[in-house]
Structure 1
Amino acid sequence: MISDVAASLAAGAAKAAKAVATLSTAEKNTVLQAFADKIRLATPTILAENSAEVAEAAANGTSAAMLDRLTLTAERIEAMAAAIEQIIQLPDPVGQSRFIEQRPNGIQISKRRIPLGVICMIYEARPNVTADAGALCFKAGNAVILRCGREAIKTSLAIAGAMRQALTEHQLPPEVLTIVPDPDRNLLLALLKQEEYIDLVIPRGGEGLIRFVTEQSRIPVIQHFKGVCHLYVDKAADPAMALKLLLNGKVQRPGVCNALEGLLVHQAIAADFLPLAAQALAEHQVKVHACQRSLPYFNGASPIADDEFGQEYLAPEIAVRVVDDLTAALAHIDRFGSQHTEVICTADQAAADRFLTSVDTAVVMHNASSRFSDGGELGLGAEIGISTSKLHAYGPMGLEALTTEKFVVQGEGQTRG
């Protein structure tokens, strides 16, 4: 039965998690290097599987953004291996301790960082997640169950196979990194009921997948429904800087979650800035959805109604709105943002401070591109995903977010009266 298969996979991972939880940092780093080495050696196999899957996906009409995420090259495989080697260099959070206090009765209270246990990663056409998630979860002392979408299952199996070979050669159970071999949705549903063995579910993919997982899971889920990121160009903005932020945020890689989907412009600067934006966006063939106040500045823009903002285009497309002031910009973001990343461009520090304080989002930026909303760019070294829910993590999730803390109490025989 499918439920028995799911229970067996989850139980095996839970047992394996105990083996990795007690490894030293040096032992984990040795295995991580073996992960990288094995992936490099498996490059021809990985590329062969990936080429077939990309061709099949293209024939099935898969979007350009999805094909980009699915496609691997020798350079991208090398980047996966190099990313694992970067994880080796990161500080190990497991075992870190912080003193809380000494109570009047003399007991010493501290908190010690420990692995979460078993993490279930659910993702679509992103085979690189197999290596990233496997390495990050391992460094944080966890076992991981990887459930890849049908489009990339063979590629992911090839990557995971290389990593599992490294585990076996280092006398560790291969179930430390378990990849679900069948993308059947019923098996996924059964996995989401294994709360006895799985501690956290992290879905990465489209909004539909994440809502489905959230609704069906008995296990806590890290949510990231979509990335509707805005750039607000304040009246005190430098137009040249704002244009740089707009183009980098929108056209460098439009199919990712930290790309800009909305441009808000203070009415006082609209006449100066929007002609520059219109010309630059046209040069990069970006489709514009413009409000009535911004529509005259764009040739061929589509009008957008006041209630139609908040779309995640994941394409060379953007929504533009002229706002009365900072208050109106904040109200727009509050209504249409997705708590992912919001940016203000301004030379007015008071306006920046108000924006940084008021915006309810995982990452907020002043005079910096939304594309920096990424674990590596923010100094985490690597990320397993971006959380737009507030428990237990918010924003890009690095190694520390894959651990938790337990209380450690030390005494000399004290008893409670």
Structure 2
Amino acid sequence: MTVVAIAVFAVAYLLIATEKIPKTVAALAGAGIVLGVGVVGAEDAFYSHETGVDWDVIFLLLGMMIIVGVLRKTGVFEYTAIWAAKRAKGSPLRIMILLTLITAVASALLDNVTTVLLLAPVTLLVCDRLGISPIPFLIAEVLASNIGGAATLIGDPPNIIIGSRAGLSFNDFLVNMGPIVLIELIVFTLMLRWLFRGSFTVDPGRVDDVMALNEREAIKDHGLLVKCGVVLLAVFAAFVGHSALHIEPSVVALLGAGVLVLISRAKPKDYLSSVEWETLLFFAGLFIMIGALVKTGVIGELAKLAADATGGNALLAVMLILVVSALLSGIIDNIPYVATMSPLVLALTNDIADPVHSEALWWSLALGADFGGNLTAVGASANVVVLGIAAREGTPISFWEFTKKGAIVTLITIIIAAPYLWLRYFLLA
């Protein structure tokens, strides 16, 4: 069964990477095979926290997609697009910098998936107004969301798993992850001109047209905008306080979606049209295939081999976890990877006497998984969501188009993270 699980995942991943068939078809076919031959059963795939579909992720996405669908009717996305373009004086590079900074900050305060769901429509609109390709802008925003989301407990789903397993608070993440995220964000911003060179040419006539627009005229329904604003504030507040309220973000998103649909009296065709059903199904299939690797012990064995290779050396363990986490998170999605790796990191911390060195293992796992999510198009939830939105809007982003940029950013962020971990938790501790 182990061989079957590995073979199915490898073939499905190859099909996703080469785009020979739609990624959703590849993921669901792979899931169907591992279920059909008995590598995993219904209990494993649909009810197990370790090997099954992560319903928290699925329903968090569903709830936020519905909220975005209702919010779209207000015209606020058009307003924000015009506002951003005018503040940047129509310069594509300045627009990219502005949108990526907004994305990074919002991803830390909310979560990266919610942030890209809200900002992707804005990006598509502003690029349409200027007559330029939105693909570089969408890729830049996703990369920024994974960097910015690393700063807080709620910013990236793997952080929630790590916080729960290690007993780390919101403030712990902010104090330990915030400084390195700020450094990484500055470097990433400086890289944008080079990373996306050739993407900033715009027709001056288009710029003049945009500068002449009045963003206030874009708002179509002020009353609905107020209702959406109230619900979104409540949802965001619940996200921030979810550990104190003991309500999962997925439940918050669904409650927010339900309340907004009720008070807005929106029709199903209006808000359901914004749901990326293919993206949700892709996640389900991917989770099931990875669950098969977890159940057969493949992921656990790989992680254990990496941990055993450290030989009790805390600094070596930190660096090895950082690099391995970045590589594996980019290949198999950082959420199931962290869920599998965190018990092994916990075991490692028990063998290290120095509490500072011990805690550094958790920050190494978080940095590797969060930044490693940028490595490929399927490395993090935000990546998959934006690729789904882009495909639906007629501007598909290929697996390799994303990965070529993401791999460079991942390499640089990990190179910067390594000395940070050494300096802060070993040399200066």
TM bucket normalised to smaller: under 0.3
The one of the two structures with greater contact order (alpha-carbon pairs below 8 A, sep at least 6) is 2
Work out which of the two has the higher radius of gyration on C-alpha atoms and give 1 or 2: 1
Higher-helix-fraction structure:
2
